[in-house]
Amino acid sequence: MLAQAARAWLQTVTRLSLIVNPTPGANDLTPYGSRCLPHTDPARTEASHWSAELLGFKSLFYALSDLGLSFYPWDEGRQFRTLSKLLHIPTLRLLQLEYLDCGPRELTTLLERHKTTLRAVRLKSVCFTGGHTNSWSTLTKRIQENTLVETFSVEECFVDDREGKRIITLLDLLYAETRQDLCSLVVAIRQAEDESSEG
């Protein structure tokens, strides 16, 4: 009865903000906590890869429209790669991501999968690995052209080349509050990329 009540309550939750440790094993249960789970629960295995568990966990939230994922410490491509391929939230309107490395294509794939529902994207301390000097303006243009996003912001975002050398740093908060602002934001980000690559 209590489990049904909890499940019913979770189905009404619209906003979820998580701070997760991307390091494998860092989120493991204590031996006592593990004994409380059924023997078939994947969290009981030592090799548990929590991004798959998160995908199952999010299915409890049928009404989820706002999702914030903050990785602490920084996710150096450990978990986001899987999430970007598989995460789908049918009612997602706001996505906020913080403190992670990813490829430009991984982030683009995730955003375009939600192109009909997503209205706001906030990115803070996201580093494109293996990117090029105009990776952020290219992403912003794709968002403008291929999604219904109205509000978009990047802050303290970076690009590292294939060797791991930092080639672009966007420290200032750059944002658009309307669809019309996105066009101007593409230009502003391109200018910031040019200034960063010259400096």
Alpha-carbon distances, residue 94 vs 98, 144, 161 (angstroms):
13, 15, 29
In tens, the pLDDT along 138-157 reads 999 999 999 999 999 999 99
Cα dist. 87→67, 105, 114, 128 in Å? 11, 15, 10, 19
Mean pLDDT by runs of 10 across the 199 residues of the chain is 74 88 59 58 54 71 92 79 89 96 94 97 95 95 96 96 91 94 95 88
Name the residue ranges covered by the structural domains of the chain. 14-198
> What's the pLDDT score for residue 82?
84
What is the pLDDT, as a whole number, of residue 132?
Answer: 92
Model pTM?
0.83
Return all residues near 46 (Cβ < 8 A) that are at least 6 apart.
25, 28
Residue with tokens 């410490």: 73
Are 105 and 129 spatial neighbours (Cβ–Cβ below 8 Å)? no
